[in-house]
Amino acid sequence: MTNQAQHAEDQSEIMDRYVEQGESRAAKLGNRGPIAFDRSGKLSKHILDAYWETGFYVFEGLVEIEEIKLLRAEMADLLDRAPIDNGSKVDGKGRAAFGQEFARPVYQLVKPLSDPWGGTELLNGRHPIQMSQPKPKEGLPEKVVFIMSGMCQTMESGLRLYGHPDLLAIAASINGDDFVPYNDATFVKQPGVGGSVSWHQDGVTHWDSEQWDEGIHGFNFQVQLYPTSPKSCLWVVPGTHKLGRIDIKKRVEENPDRERLPDAVPLHCKPGDVTIVNRQALHCSFANTSSETRISLTFGFHRRSSILGAKGALAESADIIYDERRIHERSEVIGVAIDARSKFYPNEARYAYKPLIGEEESLVFNSENWHRVIKDYNLKDLSI
């Protein structure tokens, strides 16, 4: 049977067994629970230890459900106004599609249940194997939204989320108080159509660095807007962030159950749960044949030392060297996000982002700064 020929239903029994085993492995890891800080405001030791041991952590109920509802509402509107295909100027109702004023496309669409990157050279060739692509049911649209970019400019609730004090405190606990931003991408895995993301490690630049260690490529948050089950969520192989670059092709080809790697675990979540995943951990998501919507707002942070002087990678040109100026310009998004958040949630403690202390007045959330700092901020992403 080819990767393309299987019907979604044919896969469900095999997947059910795999899911059951994965859930039982995940339950033993001890890396999920509520957020907790120590007296200095850093993540509690038990959380940091579990993160560095397994390469990921699930923070349960971190984002309040009222905030999740605002994110859902804006996201639903953006999905309603999505173009019908990549490059199209119209949405499904024949109106002008959202977001054409932004330099980078907001939406990326793929064929239902497909794997757009696996086995290709795209994104520095970091997804070496192609996942199974179950055959979608009849009558579905030709293309569906797979990823959306620029959540700080497309949704005010997205900008506010970027300034969330607990999320920024997590970034400081893992990457140091002078942490720097990476990029963001919203994975949209709609029921019965969402595409897969083939097994990969995110980092592409620092594998051979003399300073290489478990944290050199940073980590990604995923904020979950809907309940996700093992069938719709991200899967990670625990501990793989410590192994250096992995021969993924060999691992998958030598596994009798192919891409269902025997030691992987699902990061299933409730709405408002937030995961962190080390960018060196081996991870994937399967085509979403389930009946659940998964929308994961994904954004990452790095150590400053990993970025300063590094060359562009992934969506950034390899001719670019990330200097102090570029880092400062991209980091200003955090400053404006903190201000946007504190205006909306005036009773919440505002996060003090060390690299921008003293610049608060020039980074207020207003129309001028929206145009100067936020619009097209993702042209200045810091990808490695």
Ligand X SMILES: O=C(O)CCC(=O)C(=O)O
The 146-185 contact track toward ligand X, x by CB under 6 A, reads ----------------------------------------
When asked if residue 11 is in the footprint of ligand X (CB under 6 A), the reply is: no
Residue 379 C-beta-side C-alpha neighbours within 13 Å: 8
**Residue 353 CB, nearest approach to ligand X (Å):** 23
**Residue 296 CB, nearest approach to ligand X (Å):** 5
When asked if residue 54 is in the footprint of ligand X (CB under 6 A), the reply is: no
Q: In what order do the strands lie in the sheet with 180-189?
A: 32-33, 56-59, 274-278, 219-224, 294-302, 180-189, 144-149, 107-110
When asked if residue 285 is in the footprint of ligand X (CB under 6 A), the reply is: yes
Cβ closer to ligand X: 197 or 265? Answer: 197
* CB 68 within 8 Å of CB 271: yes
E strand segments, the chain:
32-33, 56-59, 107-110, 144-149, 180-189, 197-200, 219-224, 234-237, 265-266, 274-278, 282-285, 294-302
List all residues 6 or more positions away from 241 whose beta carbon is below 8 Å from its beta carbon.
Answer: 55, 214, 278, 279, 280, 281
d(CA 153, CA 373): 10
List all residues 6 or more positions away from 291 whose beta carbon is below 8 Å from its beta carbon.
Answer: 191, 192
Q: Give residue number: closest CB to ligand X.
A: 285
Cβ closer to ligand X: 220 or 383? Answer: 220
When asked if residue 234 is in the footprint of ligand X (CB under 6 A), the reply is: yes
Q: Which of residues 202-231 bind ligand X (CB under 6 A)?
A: 202, 220
**Residue 269 CB, nearest approach to ligand X (Å):** 11
Cβ closer to ligand X: 235 or 351? Answer: 235
List all residues 6 or more positions away from 342 whose beta carbon is below 8 Å from its beta carbon.
Answer: 163, 348, 350
**Residue 23 CB, nearest approach to ligand X (Å):** 18
Q: Which of residues 289-318 bind ligand X (CB under 6 A)?
A: 296, 298
In the list 146, 187, 219, 365, the residue contacting ligand X (rule: CB under 6 A) is: 187
Cβ closer to ligand X: 220 or 306? Answer: 220
d(CA 88, CA 86): 6
When asked if residue 198 is in the footprint of ligand X (CB under 6 A), the reply is: no
Cβ closer to ligand X: 289 or 342? Answer: 289
Chain residues in the site for ligand X (CB under 6 A): 187, 197, 202, 220, 234, 283, 285, 296, 298
